[in-house]
Every structure is written in structure tokens, then in C-alpha cells.
Amino acid sequence: MPHTPVLKLDHVSKSFARVDTNDITHAVSDISLELEKGEFVCLVGTSGCGKSTLLRLIAGLIQPTMGQIMANGKPVEGPSPQRGMVFQQPTLFPWLTVEQNIAFSFRMAGTLKQNRAKVDRMLETIGLEPFRRDYPGQLSGGMAQRVALARTLICEPEILLLDEPLGALDAFTRMNMQDEIRSIWHSSGQLVIMVTHDVDEAVYMSTRVVIMEAHPGRIKAQIPIDLGEERHRSSPAFVEYRNRILGLLNY
Ligand SMILES: Nc1ncnc2c1ncn2[C@@H]1O[C@H](COP(=O)(O)OP(=O)(O)O)[C@@H](O)[C@H]1O
Ligand SMILES: [Mg+2]
């Protein structure tokens, strides 16, 4: 039997038309990619090169203008809990506690009772057990982003889509979260696709970096990151990857 990748993009393009000026933006153009279970892929590129559009297409929130996206061999036709997405700004329900936000999908599905233990474990994993009864308005940015991540992770998506999830965090919280996300990815074996414009973050976290360019948004290069588990931001190999990627981004 031929091999079926977890995610396959086949010549995917997405254009947006503006009714008032008749202008067409080619947000992404002719993207082909095959991604496997267990990969951690970072998308990097300048602002406006189509990174968020690409994630929204994979999530099934928008449909391609041309081409096709297949998840496990089936066309993506709409959103699914199998493809969980976390946005740059944590979108929590302000009137629900940390615990209730994380348990939200179970409550909607009427399966909260049998999933109580899972919610408790997730609170432990992300270090928010002491804050389970707090409301989002009481949390720091880093804590709120943890809750948003937990709420998506608890559905155990096969594909985790992260759109600059750490962009609003201070440098130290950010580095801690990088380690946490990597360790969750490690134990779950899921496919993670993360947008970042921080090249160091991409080299630190991923198994493959996909570099995009703008107008139209397309793939310029793909760099497999062969650094193993222990990564040091100042090691010669790390610095070499960083410089190579910055070069491809014209810096
Ligand atoms: N819903 C939309 N309607 C019109 N244009 C859009 C829409 N979404 C994105 N675009 C345009 O598509 C291009 C890529 O946007 P985006 O995917 O958000 O880029 P990135 O996330 O890389 O910064 C930009 O020129 C943007 O203005
Ligand atoms: Mg974006």
C-alpha cells in the first residue's frame, strides 16, 4: 500500500479578492508539502508572506482557491478537533475559570464526568493547578497562553497548529514555554506546525524549518534541523543553522 502522510498539501493557492478596488492578493501560491507524524515544523518568513493563511487553510477555517489539502488521505473540508489551533492572542472565555476553560470542549460534548482526571492531569502538566479557580483576567500573558494551549492539547489533536503562540511573551517566559511545548510534543508524537518570526526559536524547536517569501506567498527553502535532542543556542552547529536561515530571509 502506498504511504499516506499525516498531512499533504498539493499545489495549494489562496487568493483574496477586494470588492472595492478589484485587487487580488495572492496570499499563498502553489504550496506543496508532505508532513509526517512526529515532525515539528516551523514556518518562518516576513510579515504578510502567508503564514497565518497557510495555517488557517490546514485548520480548515478557510478553503483553498486552488489545490487540495489532505489529512490522513482525506480532503480537509472544515475544522476538526483533530487539527487544533492556538492563536497569538489567547482567546479564552473571560467568564470561565482556568479549569472551566480547559474543560470547555468536554462540557460541550457532555463528556466532562469521564474526563475529570484528564483535566486534572493537564492542569498539572502546564503548572496551573494552583490557579485552577482563577479567571483569565487575573492571569499573566504567559499563564493565559498556557491555558489556551492546554485547552487545545486536551483534545489530543493529531496535528497541532500554533500561530506565533509565544510572540507576546517576555524572553524568559518564552524560553520556558519553548521547552514545555517541545516536551509535550515529544511525549505525544503528534505533528506540530508552528509559525514564528524568531529564527532562533525555529532552530531551537523544530525538526524542519520552512522558509516562506512574500508576493505571492510561497516556499523559498526547507531546512531539516539535524541537532538532536539537546540544543544549545550558542553551539557552532546552531549558529550555522541560524545564519543560513537568516541569509535565506535576506538578513
Ligand atoms: N481575509 C483576508 N482578506 C484579504 N486579504 C487577506 C486576508 N487574510 C490575509 N490577507 C492578505 O494575505 C497576505 C498574507 O497574510 P497572512 O497570511 O496573514 O500573512 P502572515 O501571517 O505571514 O503575516 C497579506 O497580504 C494579507 O493582507
Ligand atoms: Mg500571521
Other Cβ atoms closer than 10 A to 24: 11
What pLDDT, on a 0 to 100 scale, did the predictor assign at position 3?
A: 82
CA nearest neighbour of 206 among 218, 193, 219:
193
Mean pLDDT across the chain: 92
Closest atom, ligand 1, to C-alpha of 195: 21
Tell me if 58 CB under 6 Å of ligand 1: no
- Name the more confident of 22 and 13: 13
Among 214, 219, 215, 218, which Cα is nearest to 24's?
215
Q: Which helix (H) or strand (E) element contains residue 23?
A: none
Evaluate if residue 1 carries a pLDDT over 80. Answer: no
- Calculate the alpha carbon distances from 152 to 13, 16, 169, 200, 225 in Å: 27, 28, 19, 25, 26
Question: From CA 14, how far away is CA 29, in angstroms rounded?
Answer: 6
Task: Give bridge partners of residue 161 from the DSSP assignment.
Answer: 85, 193
Task: Give the C-alpha separation, 91 to 147, whole Å.
Answer: 10
Whether the CB of 196 sits within 6 Å of ligand 1? no
Cα 85 to its chain centre, rounded Å, is: 6
Residues 6+ apart with CB under 8 A from 229: none
The number of the ligand nearest the C-alpha atom of 164 reads 2
Percent of the residues in the chain that have a pLDDT greater than 90, as a whole number: 72
The pLDDT confidence band at residue 52, using thresholds 50, 70 and 90, is very high
pTM here is: 0.92
**CA 28: distance to chain centroid?**
17
SS3 at position 251: coil
Distance CA 205, CA 51 (A): 17
Q: So what's the pLDDT on residue 22? A: 79
Dihedrals φ, ψ of 123, to 5°? -60, -40
Any idea which ligand is nearest the CA of 47? 1
Query: pLDDT grade, residue 228 (50/70/90)?
Result: confident
Preceding omega of 81 cis (within 30 degrees of 0)? no
pLDDT at position 90: 78
pLDDT digits (tens, 9 = 90+) for 66-88: 999 999 999 999 999 899 999 88
Mutation pick for ligand 1 pocket among 14, 16, 26 (CB with most ligand atoms within 8 Å): 16
The bridge status of strand 66-71 relative to strand 40-44 is unpaired
The per-residue pLDDT for 172 is: 84
CA–CA separation, 82 and 136 (whole Å)? 25
Cell triple for residue 224? 531539516
* Cell digits of residue 150: 492546554
d(CA 7, CA 76): 10
Give the distance (Å) from ligand 1 centre to CA of residue 114: 41
